Amino acid sequence: MANVILGLLLLAPQSFYDLIKGFEAGVGLFYSASSGSIKRALDGLLARGAIEVASVEAGGRGRKVYRATDTGRAEFQAWMGSEPTGSDFETAALSRLYFLGLLDADDRVPVLRGITARIESDLAELTALDARLDTQAVPPEHRDTAFHQRATLAFGIASNRFALAWFGEHIERSEPTDG
């Protein structure tokens, strides 16, 4: 969450309200966040110096506008270049893809290659599981359940194959051209 907020603040300084709207209007397509989780992430970013209050609007509410610091920029760059980890790989990959334009052109393809490496690894695990399951007998009373579980596995394999092809094509479109 903190890295997504840093990405939004690198796009433009924003208030807490603006960040909530930013999640609703774009990031929310692949990253779910409540106002409370956004507030907690903002507080953490402030505490470690990754963001600062850029201005406080005059008036009764004194709306704070936040911006990323050099520390925040470095933290964001490190996150973008790190291997996507965790159980929600799709969110990790799409978060990086969404903010890829914030990186220098030469730094973009390595991020995409890191994403494809994770997809390849996940696909290999799913394919190996599929092969192992082919060798196991299913008791008659579990065949209906096993049928749908295998369908779930087949979906995962197909989804990873699609993602691998899509990211491969995106790498080709993203590679710097000579001249």
Contact 2, 45 (CB under 8 A): yes
Taking only the tens place, the pLDDT of each residue in 43-76 is 999 999 999 998 777 765 778 999 999 999 999 9
Give bridge partners of residue 104 from the DSSP assignment.
none
Both tokens assigned to 89: 């790989």
Q: Which fold has domain 2-86?
A: Arc Repressor Mutant, subunit A (1.10.10)
pTM equals 0.85
The residue length of the chain stands at 179
Give the pLDDT score at 62: 72
Distance between CA 158 and CA 154 in Å, rounded? 6
Look at residue 26 and tell me whether its pLDDT is greater than 90.
no
**156 contacts 87 by C-beta, under 8 angstroms:** no
- Return the domain boundaries, the chain: 2-86, 104-174
Does 179 have pLDDT greater than 60?
A: no
Per-residue pLDDT reduced to its tens digit, 90-120: 989 999 999 999 999 999 999 999 999 999 9
Please name which of 166, 80, 171 lies closest in space to residue 123, comparing C-alpha atoms.
Answer: 166
